[in-house]
Structure 1
Amino acid sequence: MKAAVLFEAKTPLSIEDVTVSLPAAREVLIRTHAVGICRSDLHFIDGAFPHPVPTVPGHEAAGVVEAVGSDVAHLKPGDHVITFFTAFCGTCEFCISGRPSLCLDPSTRRPQTAPPRLALGDGTPLAPFLNLSAYAEMMLVHENACVAISKEMPLVQAALIGCAVITGAGAIFNDSKLKPGETVAVIGAGGIGLAAVNSAKIAGAGRIIVIDPVADKRALAEKLGATDTLDAGDPDVGKKVLAMTGGGVNYAIEAVGRPETAELAWAVLRRGGTATILGMIAPGKSVTIPGPSFLSGKRMQGSLLGSTQFPVDMPRLVAMYLDGRLDLDAMVAERITLPEINDAMAKLRTGDTTRSVVVFA
């Protein structure tokens, strides 16, 4: 099969012939239909976050099950599935307490003594990327790294649910538990931020303020439910949010991954408000919060994939799309082929595009 391989950080991806192993116990072989170009992948490709190489990046995908290994209980060939990169064991402390996105149990990975899931044509093993390696015509994953969905769901839009949408929506529904009439500021109008905006509208937010430097993204945020938009380049943007809301928002969602935007999320909160940090702040970077501001009862929390309970939340998001409440069509900026992936990465570096999606024939 064809796959986009990263041989070294800060170099272009290379389209290579790759071999995929047969599914072992509790593994599922998926024919990839669509995979989103996510900034998280770019962090690894550009070397901001270290990762073993060579590897096949990609982690926001949907496809159709081709084959299953032994002991697979809930999936069968022909099932349409969305993948997610935090494969969960189902039995550890985090899983049984309702936090499967935090599971790190090694039982979902292949033993080091077993053949690799993916390898180059000469037999060189490819390091697994976030349990998925989705920039490839096929994915071989643990059964608890994907969930079956309605076959009525278009797979291009379904792919976005695998990262951007569960993260943004989860920040509203799970992390914030936003109630009707409450206010929210979303910093960053990429895929994750836009999903948070749309979800805040579904949850009945009284005011949804979006902060982003790109005018086209602010316009798209308004289409998805933002009541107000502000230019992130305005040096007084924080003060403007406080003035607009009479003291700050109930919830702030940071979807950029920079210390200054995390600090802005804290600054625009009202007393007792909560800031949720979704962006990947690079190693070595720190967030600074004025000590006395803790006396205002504000909270800052981190979140991975919106604290999603995958087998329950993902089909619900599919249902929201099918009944017309969750708008995923507007988030797809362009559909591309695998050989165009480096051009899509270059667009992502500029910050001007929403979501490019690789669609396989």
Structure 2
Amino acid sequence: VKEIQCVTIPKDVPLTSACLVPCGVVTGAGAVLNRANVLPGQTAAVIGLGGVGLAAVQALRLKGAGRVVGIDTVPGKFDLARQFGATDFVQAGKGVDVADEIRTLFPYSEDQKVGTFGAGGVDWIFECTGVPAVLENALEALDWGGTLIAVGQPSQTATANIRIANLLQCDRGILGTRAGGVRPHEDIRAIVELYRQGKFDLDALVSKVYPSNAFTDVLDDMHNGRIARGVLAF
């Protein structure tokens, strides 16, 4: 670790909350604040409500998004997402077409002033699972002119099958982001300051603090959807 990688923060910020910022929080929030250009009143969906997705939901609230759809296979995460600013929810899982569910919430309207081909859907989608099939399906849920932000990290060799017409005919786009385009010395300090001002909730992201020897317990709770984030305290 090089000296330049260290970022100083105020001493009044508890490290059990601050430790979430340099990876999960900047990835989710940065995808919204750095890579996207979400305008007030626009609609968005966040697929995957772990620590990364929940940070994206909070950032969408800060940007003034009108409606935010939270999507996850674990419905127990919806209450926390609602607390952070999500307005609508879709429980994903076997037999559920997430794109169809989103278009049901945001149907195509003949009265809309822009758009063609009866797209329907949301303006922005933040795919936080890193599952290629989820990304492929998410493209179908974008409204005309919408953008899909690939946030979740799959394997380095993963590929996705995209129907090009779904991009061209509806002016849709796909953007990738590595750790939310983070600029550590600017973004980490900015999020910490938002936390100190009560505008970004880090504390609620910490579902439980574990002793340092409970590493496998944290992993088990995370993989089974019992927590947003678990913190090991040394």
2:100 is the counterpart of 1:239: yes
2:227 equivalent among 347, 353, 356: 353
Q: Which of 46, 61, 69 is 1:186 aligned to?
A: 46
- 2:37 aligned with 1:164: no
Query: CA separation in 2, counterparts of 1:266 and 1:237?
Result: 10
Amino acid at match of 1:342: T
Q: Aligned AA for 1:282? A: S
**Deviation for aligned residue 1:175:** 0.8
**CA–CA distance in structure 2, aligned partners of residues 290 and 142 of structure 1:** 43
Q: Which has the higher contact order (CA 8 A, sep 6+)?
A: 2
The question of whether the paired residues in 1 share the 8 Å contact of 2:139 and 2:166 is answered with no
Residue 304 of structure 1 deviates from its aligned partner by 0.8
Cα deviation code 1:287-324 (max 9, x no counterpart): 11112112121111111110011111111101111111
Superposition RMSD in Å = 1.3
The one-letter code matched in structure 2 to 1:150 is: P
How far has the Cα of 1:150 moved from its partner?
1.4
Whole-Å separation in 2 of the counterparts to 1:267 and 1:161? 31
User: Partners in 1 of 2:195 and 2:156 — Cα distance?
Assistant: 36
Q: Report the more deviating stretch, 258-267 or 326-335.
A: 258-267
In structure 2, C-alpha distance between the alignment counterparts of 1:291 and 1:172, rounded to whole Å: 25
Cα deviation, residue 223, structure 1: 1.2
Say which SS state the counterpart of residue 352 (structure 1) adopts.
Answer: coil
Residue in structure 1 matched with residue 115 of structure 2 by the alignment: none
Structure 1 distance, partners of 2:137, 2:43, is 16
Between the two proteins, what is the percent identity of the paired residues?
Answer: 37
Q: C-alpha displacement at 1:143, in angstroms?
A: 1.6
2:85 matched residue in structure 1:
225
AA matched with 1:219: D
TM score, norm. by length of structure 1: 0.59
- Identify the match of residue 5 of structure 2 among 139, 145, 157: 145
- Per-residue deviation at 1:237? 2.7
Secondary structure in 1 aligned to 2:194? Answer: helix
What residue number does 2:130 align with?
Answer: 257
Measured in 2, the distance between the counterparts of 1:201 and 1:166 equals 15
Greater share of residues in helix = 2
Q: Is the radius of gyration larger for structure 1 or structure 2?
A: 1
Q: CA deviation at 1:257?
A: 1.0
- C-alpha distance in structure 2 between counterparts of 1:210 and 1:286, whole Å: 25
Aligned mates of 2:92, 2:219 — CA distance in 1? 23
Count of aligned pairs = 220
TM-score by length of 2: 0.90
Q: Which residue of 2 aligns with 1:313?
A: 187
Matches within 5 A, 1:88-167: 141-167=1-27
Counterpart residue number, 2:116: none
SS at match of 1:148: coil
Any stretches of 5+ residues in structure 2 without a counterpart?
Answer: 108-119
Q: Offset of 1:283 from its aligned partner?
A: 3.7
- Counterpart of 1:177 (choices 37, 40, 43) is 37
- Does the alignment pair 1:204 with 2:77? no
**Is the partner of 2:19 in helix, strand or coil?**
helix
- Deviation per residue, 1:36-60 (Å, 9 max, x gap): xxxxxxxxxxxxxxxxxxxxxxxxx
Structure 1 regions of 5+ residues with no counterpart? Answer: 1-140
| Higher share of residues assigned strand | 1
Q: Could you tell me whether the CA contact under 8 Å between 2:148 and 2:174 is conserved in 1?
A: yes
The one-letter code of the counterpart of 1:243 is T
